[in-house]
Amino acid sequence: MEIHVVSAGESLWNIAQMYGVDFQTIVDANQLPNPDQLVIGQALVIPVGGRVYWVEEGETLSSISERFQVPVEEIVSFNNIEYPNNIPTWFRLYIPSDYRQKPAVDVGAYVDLGITGEESPQYVDEVGQYLTYVQIFSYELNADGTLTPIDDQAIINTALANQVVPLMVITNLENGAFDTELVTTVLQSEELQNRLLDEAIAIMDEKGYLGLDFDLEYLGAQNREQYNDLMRKARVRLDERGYFLSSALAPQVEPGMPGVLYEGHDYAAHGEIADFVFLMTYEWGWTGGPPMAVAPLNEVRRVIEYAASVMPNDKIMMGIPLYGYDWTLPFVEGVTRARAIDHQEAIRLAAEHNAIIEYDTVAQSPFFNYVDDEGQEHEVWFEDARSMQAKFDLVKEFGLRGFYYWVLGWEFPQNWLLIDANFTVNKRV
């Protein structure tokens, strides 16, 4: 898979000719709604079976072979080269991407039944081949330690049919927000902790869940040790049934970070107790904040570096957003609310308003500005093939267990192709 960034004056036909790929192949891979209207700065994935390399002056197949660690005979065979000792400058080569074995990773994705509802099983079915886990969001905790039931049997069955592990997600959400008082009531009581685990395991046994994921947020320092104790109890009881245990943790970059969001999450303890942890490495750019990348790579890297210093790398699942935001300018704190959009809508907006997509090389994220029909200026940050590849490279660099997405339901066809080009996805059912 090659990533091509559209330049001024390029057409899809030109790009197809450049890579020696059928026009329709590019259309299908990127699900382009209007192939005749490309956007300057738009990233396209080009299915070429390897990476494209243009021979530079003075290079030979031997030097190229050494550079990419691919045998000369593999390059010759892959490109049907008749005269390997006479390769002209700027000759186009395909470097096989599958010569070396792709790293195997776990891939997860949250599904918010409150948003996608009856369509949720369909989303899992469409991308199930790329998933190890699906985190079904969510069973809401009540103050008496019980759980509010949800209609999840269909999505559990769909997950299992695709060899995807269904994970039961428990949250302390109340009226759409994470509630500190609610979770404190339960965590500070051994009786209520036990009732919570009793009910959760009964549901798992009945419905076919294979793992439990705690997403308890805004706990505060007063619940840090109690949360660790709940995890330890869950570990013992889940081990009896062979179930997975995981937790979702707020993004921390150093020990002792202040704030109710961070203080209740003990990275080292969860890294020791859980099978794996979902690090929420997104929402730097958020609906109530100023325009910026949702998951800037420089910030994500800081979280991964800290996490890797206190827990095993092979327990870390890095979070990746499948969405971006469209801000109306000027941004006014406490007033402006950005609108969440997916990759396909971002490209459509850029094309509709003749915007040029730029790329922030520090955040490793694309963005653009446009003026709507009412004359208001907008700023859009989103994810594209380049930003995803940068995140995948970070997963490889640290040898992480894998990565996961928040949340299924957003359209981003390039992403799934890039998974296949970079990794082998583990199946644990």
Question: Domain coordinates of the chain in residue numbers?
Answer: 2-96, 104-425
Beta-carbon contacts of residue 383 (< 8 Å; ≥ 6 apart): 294, 295, 320, 321, 322, 323, 324, 343, 365, 366, 412, 415
CATH for 104-425 (3.20.20.80, 3.20.20.120, 3.20.20.70, 3.40.50.1450):
3.20.20.80
Half-sphere exposure of 284 (CA within 13 A, CB side): 21
Helix axes 72-79, 61-68, angle to 10 degrees: 110
Q: How confident is the model at residue 99 (pLDDT cuts 50, 70, 90)?
A: low
Mean predicted confidence (pLDDT) in 367-392: 98
In this predicted model, what pLDDT tens digit does every residue of 232-243 receive, in sequence order? 999 999 999 999
Q: What's the Cα-to-Cα distance from 355 to each of 4, 240, 293, 299, 336, rounded to whole Å? A: 18, 57, 18, 27, 22
Q: Which residues contact 421 (CB under 8 A, 6 or more apart)?
A: 1, 97
Confidence tier at 98 by pLDDT (50, 70, 90): low
- The mean pLDDT value for 188-213 works out to 98
Q: Taking the chain, what is the end-to-end CA distance rounded to the nearest angstrom?
A: 28
pLDDT given for residue 118 in this prediction: 93
**pLDDT over threshold 80, residue 10:** yes
Catalytic annotation, pick one of 140, 217, 263, 345: 217
pLDDT at 169: 98
Write out pLDDT tens, residues 41-94: 999 999 987 777 889 999 999 999 888 888 999 889 888 898 888 888 888 888
Q: Residue count of the chain, please give it.
A: 429
The pLDDT of residue 96 is 78
CATH number, span 2-96: 3.10.350.10
| H-helix or E-strand spanning residue 134 | strand 133-141
Q: What is the pLDDT of residues 245-279, one digit of tens each?
A: 999 999 999 999 999 999 999 999 999 999 999 99
Confidence at 7, pLDDT banded by 50, 70, 90: very high
Q: What is the CA radius of gyration of the chain?
A: 24
* DSSP 8-state class, residue 221: G
Q: Is the pLDDT of residue 97 over 70?
A: no
Tokens of 23: 């026009």
- CB-count burial class (<10 Å; 0-12, 13-18, 19+) for 138: buried
Output the pLDDT for position 100.
62
Is there a catalytic annotation at residue 217?
yes
CA gap 353, 41 in Å, rounded: 14
Convert the pLDDT of each residue in 280-335 to its tens digit.
Answer: 999 999 999 999 999 999 999 999 999 999 999 999 999 999 999 999 999 999 99
Q: Tell me whether the CATH fold assigned to 2-96 matches the one assigned to 104-425.
A: no
With the CA atoms of 120, 121, 122 and 127 taken in that order, what torsion angle do they form, in degrees rounded to the nearest 10? 100
